[in-house]
Structure 1
Amino acid sequence: MNLDNCPRCGRLYLKNLMGICQVCVRELEQQYETCVKYLRENRGITIQELSDATEISIKEITRFIREGRISIANAPNMMYPCEVCGMLIREGHMCDSCRTRLRKDLTSVTKESALEKESKKDQRGAYKAIDKSRD
């Protein structure tokens, strides 16, 4: 059998696509419904206000938004934190400054890697030339 412990509550459950037990699935659905109902009644609120009013963590609300279950298109003040620095954003996982920094870091690592490969090629060529001259 495919049994596992629920990562949220620790109960033993039969594995499913959600990766959590049925009790936690029902709890998440109830939290989602609470969020949606409160958002319909209060369109101009922030994520912090929603969390305070519904007693649902910002992390869970953010997950609902990222999964596409809660639309923030009609909620102008609804933003969630960047996964890297915590700055409030409306789309994606990172803010523009973190995304730019990540691209810059990846570019520099790629260049360094290319330079290392090039220097190793040069060193191998020099060793081959020495070895050939010895024979």
Structure 2
Amino acid sequence: MGELRNCPTCGDFFNFTGVRDVCHKCVQSEEEQYQVVYSFLRKRENRAATVERIVEVTGVKEELLYKWVRKNRLQPAMFPNLGYPCDNCGSLTKQGKLCENCQNDLKAELRTFEAAKEFRSSVENSEKGTYLSDRKR
């Protein structure tokens, strides 16, 4: 059974079942806008259009374009200048939540952290084996 929620687009109540995140009226509106964008992009001369150009010509909000690219309704393989913002820096990416630069930065930080962790554990292990005794013979 669904959950009663407010539509984030228009504010009306709708039964949220986990499939769609907006009400039925807004789903229909989004679908009409999608058809406008898709028919614009199907023309050969428009396939390399940027997000800004698509918004300018069709009047569709950037957020909707990003949503469609994230859900693979508009595929960057077919339209090379499409993408959505990286969750970290905001530059356009075509897959995942982070762009390639942010992924590489995160991987480098993880490698540094792991190396520091290994160093700390090796220092702790070497200190455990060394005891000084002050025994009198």
TM over 0.5: yes
Q: Percent identity, aligned pairs only?
A: 24
TM normalised by structure 2 equals 0.70
Aligned mates of 1:86, 1:7 — CA distance in 2: 22
Structure with the bigger percentage of helix: 1
Distance 1:100 1:12, change over 3 A: same
Q: CA RMSD in A?
A: 2.8
Asked if 1 retains the 8 angstrom alpha-carbon contact of 2:93 and 2:99, the reply is yes
- For 2:5, the aligned partner's letter is D
Aligned mates of 1:40, 1:86 — CA distance in 2: 27
Gap regions ≥5 residues in structure 2? 129-137
Deviations along 1:110-132, one digit per CA (max 9) or x if unpaired, are: 45566677888999x7xxxxxxx
User: 2:74 corresponds to which residue?
Assistant: 70
Aligned residues: 125
Instruction: Pick the aligned partner of 1:53 from 39, 54, 57.
Output: 57
Aligned mates of 1:117, 1:6 — CA distance in 2: 52
Gap regions ≥5 residues in structure 1? 126-135
Instruction: Pick the aligned partner of 1:85 from 76, 82, 89.
Output: 89
Distance 1:40 1:108, change over 3 A: same
Aligned mates of 2:121, 2:10 — CA distance in 1: 49
